[in-house]
Structure 1
Amino acid sequence: MSENLTVLSYNESLLRQSDVELLKGPYWLNDTIISFYFEYLETERFRNIPFLLFVSPEVTQCIKVSPQRELPVFLDPLLNSTLRDFIFFALNDNELIDSSGGSHWSLLVFSRPEKMMFHYDSSNGSNDMQAIELAHKLLRYFSLPIQDKFENVPCLQQNNGYDCGIHVLCNSERLASFAAHYEKIRGCPKITHEMVTQKRWEILHIIERLKHKHR
């Protein structure tokens, strides 16, 4: 069936037609699209900024549901080559380790210079428990105290039930650009509704460009 056709093979990401279709309508984004865009941000958009790291939703999910002692299995390979000052995690409310799914995305960002975990949720409060639990695990991994090191940052709220993933991608790109210039997260301007509205088509154009580039 055409929905299973491969549209783009890009580094570790394999986009099928069914994935790309999610960008064309009022649909919730899956792990595959978010993983692809995180790869794009790290390998192209910010390829000259080595202190940024974008962790795939799949790895984030494994970290979230695994015991503390297993975090080095997932994080050490990502961090051993260079010091990453800003690390982006796309957080899902799914509780299962071996399946994709869930109903809401939010963004958790670790800032080494500020020694903080920042949480951006386009549906305020929806992912609070998930974010706090993951933040505490990560702070322990980085040998940092937990007290007063987690901040829910006021951010643009979604006006529908399906754009949470788009908000994660917009927030990630805006924050990464801000961090690349100012070496901090706090103080970054909010994204706008216009950015959210345009992002689906921007990603579709990027996929088309990469398809021609990688032929």
Structure 2
Amino acid sequence: MLQTGAQSAFAQMLNDGILTDIVVNAIGGSIRAHRAVLAAHSAVFRCMFSHDLREKEQSAVDISDMSSDGCQALISYLYGTLSEEEFLAHRSELLFAGDKYGIAGLKETCEKSLIDDVDTDNVLERLQMAHLYGLSALKRTCMTMLVEFKRVHRIPEDFREFARTGDGDLVAEVMESCRRQGYLPPWYDLASAGRVRNQLVLVPKKEDDPA
């Protein structure tokens, strides 16, 4: 990852433990850092340190929904020292952090990376991530793969589980997109489907129904 001159200087100070003034507490460990670096990348952190909040008074930020390794990857990103290997190992946590703390560049980097290696095996997982975090480019990629390339027919069991447990609006959107392409997954009997609150309710075919 490319570093700016300021990032390089702060990274050296962090490495040497010079003037660190904030402790980031995560699951399994704590990491020292500089408020200025965190605040420069995130309006959320900037707000914490600019007002009379607990984080400012205690010189500590509690990130109780990230592992210490994931949090270290986040700090490394902010200082411009994150390796590709470390990024890929903690990509899901970094996406979560980018969304939670409003770090647009990190969120965009994660989205591009997720697009690069989307495939039939992970397309439904990626689609749900795109829906959850508002990643429009990733969502378009997944929808194209599922609907236009008809990969939905290659993963019947995974799609059944997605239809059963996934977000109702997202499931309905996939089914409607299939319908517009002129087909529907064969394991659903849309003739007996109902509509509840304008959402498509999918009714699986019975085992003895004709194909």
Answer whether TM exceeds 0.5 for this pair.
Answer: no
Structure label with greater radius of gyration: 2
Q: Which has the higher contact order (CA 8 A, sep 6+)?
A: 1
TM-score, normalised relative to structure 1: 0.26
- Bigger proportion of residues as helix: 2
TM-score, normalised relative to structure 2: 0.27
